[in-house]
Amino acid sequence: MSKTYNVAIMGATGAVGNCFLRILEQRKFPIKHLRLLASERSKGKDLEFSGKPYPVEVLTHDSFKDIDIVLASAGASRSLEFLPSAVKAGAVCVDNSSAFRMEKDTPLVVPEVNGTRIKDHKGIIANPNCSTIQMVVALKPIHDAAKIKRIVVTTFQSVSGGGQKKVTELWEQSKDFLAKKKVTPKEFPHQIAFNLLPQIDVFLDNGYTKEEMKMVNETRKIMEAPDMQVNATCVRVPVFYAHSESVNIETEKHISPDEVRKLLAKAPGVKVIDDPKSGKYPMPIDAEGLDDTFVGRIRQDESVKNGISMWVVSDNIRKGAALNAVQIAEDLIKEGLV
């Protein structure tokens, strides 16, 4: 009989928490006991898993007794407060927040890119930012073949990246706008319906947002390339699910678009959709609910000697959050690290 594990989900009632449940069920994760944890306001709720209701328990420092694996998506402050208690209780934690990503001793892992790093964990493994995950999945095979020295990326990020309240606000704003009613932003600094916001998270002293600098620093750490030049502009767009990215890279060794297509066609977690003359290229509406990172519009950058441009799309709640964390947990089991 295969070994099974006691699993806790921190932030179980949120969008990523619900996605954890769907993915664990779909992938037949070997669960012995499941514990669902959330804040006091979720007390008394039930969530369904594999056809059975599970009660939501209030998250406390004593919630991790006998737990083997914690999948956390409750925000950075909650992770900082509670995950040390989980580690002390003997659990291995996969954290979806930004709390531990840049800690020197915490592996920052995308299984298709640097999965071997999970063995370095000291109780916590960090899940990268959703925008970073899909980009490095697409770029790692190219980096291995031709060594990327510079990345310029512009993201077009769906509102679900900011949580369920922002999804609801886009819906409500869209209805008000189409009804010619006054649009009053609540969750966003400005109207998001039929608009673009070139700001995700707060601005820093260097003029970039926190989200943009996450992409810079996380990419360097994951790719183990501290000198890689990365420039990011992150934009919130009126799309409900799935992030899109315009990615331009400069490599040390010349690589052609055809070579890139061949590399990505056999890369894990990547699906190439690249026939623009027939109107075939990745779009967020087609990526929603799917696990792959989709790449298209692969072309030579004619402004530099060794440049490639491409378009990258992925479901930010699945691969950009829940799926990546579950894949890490699966690898922990496969490698006997939990």
Q: How far apart (Å, rounded) are the C-alpha atoms in residues 252 and 147?
A: 6
Q: How far apart (Å, rounded) are the C-alpha atoms in residues 181 and 248?
A: 40
Question: Which one of the listed residues 19, 121, 143, 243 is annotated catalytic?
Answer: 243
Question: Which one of the listed residues 19, 93, 130, 234 is annotated catalytic?
Answer: 130
Q: Which amino acid is at 75?
A: G
Active-site residue flag, 234? no
Q: Which amino acid is at 329?
A: A
Q: How far apart (Å, rounded) are the C-alpha atoms in residues 223 and 140?
A: 7
Token pair in block for residue 114: 């640097």
Query: SS3 helix, strand, coil % of the chain, rounded to 5?
Result: 35, 25, 40
Q: How far apart (Å, rounded) are the C-alpha atoms in residues 83 and 61?
A: 9
Active-site residue flag, 243? yes
End-to-end Cα, the chain, rounded Å: 17
Token pair in block for residue 192: 């998001």
Residues belonging to the active site: 130, 243
